[in-house]
C-alpha cells in the first residue's frame, strides 16, 4: 500500500491504496466520485476521462502512483465550479439552497479515504447546479444513456479552454477520443457549439 496525495476538484486528498490501482478506481471506489465511467477499460472510449494537470486523460490508464501531487478535475468538480459562480448571481433564497460550502475556506470531503465522515460530507455536498456545458448537452439531447456523457463534457471543457470558438472540424477532432453509441454525435456537436456561443458559464447554469 502507498499513501498518495493529490488534489481532486480543488480538495487536497490523501488515499492509501495499492500504487498500481487505476485512478478511475480510486475516484469511484475510494473517493466515491462515480461520474467517471468505465467503458472499455483499455483507453479506447474516453468514458473515464478526467482532467489531470490541465490535460484530458483516460483515468483507466493512469496508475494512481502517477497521480501523486496531481490536480484532478472530475465531472463533479466541473459542476461545482458552475454552482459557485451561479450562487453569486442567484437570489438569496436560491443561494441558501445551493450553498456548497458553509464558508469560503471550508470544503467538505477533504479528509483521507479512511475517514468515512469526510466521504459522507462529500456525498451530501454534491452540487445542485449544472455546468453550462451540461445544460447545453441537456437542451440538445446530447446525452442519452449517459455513459459517455461525463467524459464528453470534460473533453468539451478541455477543448473550449484551448479553442473558445472551435470550428466543426475542431470539435470533431477535440472529441475524437470520446465514443458515443447512442446519439450519432450531431447532437453532441450542436451542444458544444452552443456552449461555445454562450457568453459566460453563469448565464446558462441552472439548478437541477
Ligand atoms: S474506460 Fe477508459 S478509455 Fe474506455
Ligand atoms: S454512449 Fe450513450 S449517450 Fe453516449
181 lines ligand 2 (CB under 6 A): yes
**Is any atom of ligand 2 closer than 6 Å to the C-beta of 180?**
yes
State the fold for domain 130-207. DNA polymerase; domain 1 (1.10.150)
Query: How many angstroms separate the alpha carbon of residue 82 from the centre of ligand 1?
Result: 26
Which one of 183, 186, 192 would you pick to mutate in the ligand 2 pocket, going by the greatest count of ligand atoms within 8 A of its CB?
A: 183
Instruction: Record the cell numbers describing residue 76, joined without a space.
Output: 463533479
Rounded-to-integer distance, Cα 9 and Cα 6, Å: 10
* Nearby residues of 24 by Cβ (< 8 Å), 6 or more positions away: 36, 38, 48, 59, 60, 62
- pTM for this model (two decimals): 0.78
**Ligand 2: does its nearest atom lie under 6 Å from the Cβ of 145?**
yes
How does pLDDT run along the chain (208 residues), one tens digit per residue? 999 999 999 999 999 999 999 999 999 999 999 999 999 999 999 999 999 999 999 999 999 999 999 999 999 998 776 654 444 333 333 333 332 222 233 333 344 554 555 554 555 555 567 899 999 999 999 999 999 999 999 999 999 999 999 999 999 999 999 999 999 999 999 999 999 998 444 443 433 3
From the number of C-beta atoms within 10 Å of its C-beta (0-12, 13-18, 19+), residue 112 rates as middle
Nearest to 166 by CA among 190, 143, 185: 190
Quick check: CB of 177 below 6 Å from ligand 1? no
Compute, in angstroms, the gap from residue 114 CA to the centroid of ligand 2: 34
Question: Across the strands, what pairs with 52?
Answer: 55, 72
DSSP-assigned letters across all residues of the chain = -EEEEEEETTEEEEEEE-TTSBHHHIIIIIS----S--SSSSSSS-TTEEEETTEEEEGGG-BGGGGTT-EEE-HHHHHHHHHHHHHHHS-HHHHHHH---SBTTB-TT-S-TT-HHHHHHHHHT--SB--HHHHHHHHHT--SS-SSHHHHHHHHHHHHHH-SS--HHHHHHHTTT---SSS-SHHHHHHHHHHHH-S-HHHH--B-
Q: Is-contact 202 86, C-beta < 8 A?
A: yes
List, in order, residues 6 or more apart from 202 with CB less than 8 Å away.
82, 85, 86, 88, 89, 132
CA of 172 to the centre of ligand 2 (A): 16
The finding on whether 60 has its CB within 6 A of some atom of ligand 1 is yes
Q: Ligand 1 within 6 A of 45 CB? A: yes
Q: How far is the CA of 157 from the centre of ligand 1 (A)?
A: 18
Please give the distance, rounded to the nearest whole angstrom, from the Cα atom of residue 46 to the centre of ligand 2.
11
Distance 179 CA to ligand 1 centre (A): 10
Give the domain ranges of the chain.
2-79+108-127, 130-207
CATH class, 2-79+108-127 region: alpha beta
Amino acid at each position: 500500500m502507498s499513501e498518495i496525495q493529490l488534489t481532486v476538484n480543488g480538495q487536497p486528498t490523501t488515499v492509501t491504496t495499492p500504487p498500481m490501482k487505476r485512478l478511475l478506481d480510486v475516484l469511484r471506489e475510494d473517493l466515491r466520485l462515480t461520474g467517471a465511467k468505465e467503458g472499455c477499460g483499455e483507453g479506447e472510449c474516453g468514458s473515464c476521462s478526467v482532467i489531470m494537470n490541465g490535460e484530458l486523460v483516460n483515468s483507466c490508464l493512469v496508475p494512481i502512483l502517477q497521480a501523486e501531487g496531481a490536480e484532478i478535475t472530475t465531472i463533479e468538480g466541473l459542476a461545482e465550479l458552475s454552482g459557485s459562480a451561479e450562487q453569486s448571481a442567484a437570489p438569496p433564497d436560491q443561494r441558501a439552497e445551493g450553498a456548497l460550502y458553509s464558508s469560503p475556506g471550508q470544503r467538505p470531503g477533504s479528509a483521507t479515504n479512511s475517514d468515512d465522515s469526510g466521504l459522507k460530507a462529500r456525498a451530501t455536498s454534491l452540487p445542485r447546479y449544472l455546468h453550462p456545458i451540461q445544460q447545453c448537452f441537456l437542451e440538445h439531447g446530447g446525452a442519452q444513456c449517459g455513459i459517455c456523457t461525463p467524459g464528453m463534457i470534460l473533453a468539451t471543457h478541455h477543448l473550449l479552454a484551448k479553442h473558445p470558438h472551435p470550428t466543426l472540424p475542431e470539435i470533431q477532432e477535440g472529441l475524437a477520443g470520446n465514443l458515443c453509441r447512442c446519439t450519432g454525435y450531431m447532437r453532441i456537436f450542436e451542444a458544444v457549439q452552443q456552449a461555445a456561443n454562450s457568453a459566460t458559464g453563469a448565464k446558462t447554469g441552472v439548478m437541477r
